C-alpha cells in the first residue's frame, strides 16, 4: 500500500496542486500520510520481533 501511494504523492508535488480550504500544497498532506504509514510499518515490525514488549517489561 505504501509503494502505491508514492507515485500519486510525487505527481501532486510535480503538478503543484493546492488544497483550496487550507491554501496548502497537497504534497504536504501526502508527506504526512506517507510518514504515518512508514511509522506504522516500523512499529509493526518491531512488535513482530517482540522489541516493544521487551521494553515495556523492563519499565514495570
pLDDT, tens digit, for every residue of 2-47? Answer: 788 889 889 988 998 888 888 889 889 889 999 999 999 899 898 8
In terms of DSSP H, where are the helices of the chain?
2-15, 26-48, 51-59
pTM, entire model: 0.67
Cβ atoms of residues 30 and 19 within 8 Å: no
Domain boundaries, the chain: 2-59
pLDDT band at 50 (very low <50, low <70, confident <90, very high): confident
Q: Which three cell numbers stand for residue 11?
A: 505527481
Quote the CA–CA distance of 15 and 30 in Å, as a whole number: 13
Amino acid at each position: 500500500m505504501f509503494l502505491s501511494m508514492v507515485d500519486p504523492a510525487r505527481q501532486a508535488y510535480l503538478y503543484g496542486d493546492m488544497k483550496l480550504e487550507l491554501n496548502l500544497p497537497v504534497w504536504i498532506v501526502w508527506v504526512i500520510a506517507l510518514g504515518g504509514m512508514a511509522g506504522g510499518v516500523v512499529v509493526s515490525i518491531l512488535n513482530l520481533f517482540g522489541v516493544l514488549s521487551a521494553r515495556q517489561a523492563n519499565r514495570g
